[in-house]
Copies of this chain bind each other. A is one copy, B any other.
Amino acid sequence: MISRVMSAELAEHAGQRVTIAGWVHRRRQLKSVSFLVVRDRTGLAQVVAAGDLPPEESVVQVTGTVTDNPQAPGGFELVAPEVEVLTQHWAAPPIDLYRPVVGAALPTLLDHAPVTLRHPMLRAPLEISAASVAGFRETLDRQGFTEIHTPKIVASATESGANVFGIDYFGRPAFLAQSPQFYKQAMVGVFERVYEVGPVFRAEPHDTVRHLAQYTSLDAELGFIQDHRDVMAVLREVLAGMIESVRHRAAPALDLLGLALPEVPDEIPVVHFTDAQELTSSDEPDLAPAQERWLSEWAEKEHGSEFLFVTGYPLSKRPFYTHPDPARAGYSNGFDLLFRGMELVTGGQRLHRYPDYLAALGNRNEEPGPYRGYLQAFRQGMPPHGGFALGLERWTARLTGAANIRQVTAFPRDLNRLSP
């Protein structure tokens, strides 16, 4: 490796001559003195220099003496430097990466993502995202879950016939998986408790601020539950674990973005779908985005919670594998979790008896043929089970207050965007 100390470690080397390496974040050449700010993966370091300095985004190695200066980032700077250019640059960056606030429009940022993501404010959400996933896994690992990897190329659509990408599979038609639903359920028969972190694909024909054609789905599924409330209890632990992980692993990103993390109440408030309808004076069979926003605000006011469970969605509005509410005809043991005005998680108890699957498909006038592989698991005994799926990018957007999900996705894919 190139021998160096990190910018965040300068304080430990006060008075010593050290080498740092990174990108020229900013150069300022004044009449009597010049400054170089060097960016590495831990932060920024100021160098007091003289004469000509390499331009922004050059990669440099700087050897200098660590001197305290309360005005410098981290309280220390390098003086009497020798600057070596490791790699020059061949073009000016598409935006000024050193400006504290990003002013460019979203399309510009996305078109130049390989460069614009270097901006600390644009990188920070991805640090929060990585920390969130680590917390998701950590929580489930502790509870005896096993990580799985399932096929993304499938013979038939999983969720519904719409919104599915077709693929030429060695001359045969196939599809990109819209979710690992069938596989994670089958794997409950193997491991009882499983999770997967992976891409899912939706051919969303609408250009909205909250949909992507590919997103990262955090999926969990577990057996031997009583009903959906056991799934909701696991989800509550997962959310708390993700937030704790962000607090510990992404503290600099939180500071930079000036974010306060939400509290996860010991008991997340729960409202039944029919009560949610009543509260919002609606008789539609599903909740519209405006209703979700209203309910979120209500939960905040009434229960002091930024999270709200809505349970008991009408069976007709949930996938065929959803377990009915045994106490209330027409309603299901399916739930959504709203977070800061938006549906973040969908989950529920699933059917587990083979005849129930055949009946559910029959009710929707679907043949069991295309589901033959999936149904194998249920012809053998399957325990009562359920699970949930959380969209990582949507989570990160809510956490960081991003208005558009694309702001927190490294290289988003949508109706119009296929590169970079």
Chain A contact residues, CB within 8 Å of chain B: 1-2, 4, 21, 23-24, 40-41, 57-59, 86-91, 93, 112-115, 117-118, 123, 126-127, 129-130, 133-134, 141, 144, 146-155, 165-170, 172, 174, 176, 183, 186-187, 189-193, 197-199, 201, 203, 205, 213-214, 216, 224-226, 230, 352-355, 372-374, 376-384, 392, 410-411, 413, 415, 418-420
Contact = CB atoms under 8 A, between A and B. Distances in A.
A186 B23 contact: no
B59 A191 contact: no
Contacts of A197: 197
Contact of A199 (B1, B58, B114, B199): B199
Given A127-B146, A147-B134, A183-B410, A114 B374 contact: yes
Contacts of A40: 192
A148 B126 contact: yes
Given A224-B21, A374-B420, A382-B87, A411 B152 contact: no
Contact of A167 (B141, B154, B165): B165
A144 B40 CA distance: 12
Contact of A225 (B2, B88, B230, B419): B2
A199 B201 contact: no
- Looking at A58, A187, A203, A214, which has the most chain B CB atoms within 10 Å of its CB? A187
Contacts of A88: 381
19 contacts: A1-B226, A4-B224, A23-B189, A41-B192, A58-B381, A87-B352, A87-B384, A88-B381, A114-B189, A117-B189, A117-B190, A123-B190, A130-B146, A134-B147, A148-B410, A151-B411, A153-B413, A167-B176, A374-B420
B376 A114 contact: yes
A224 B38 CA distance: 14
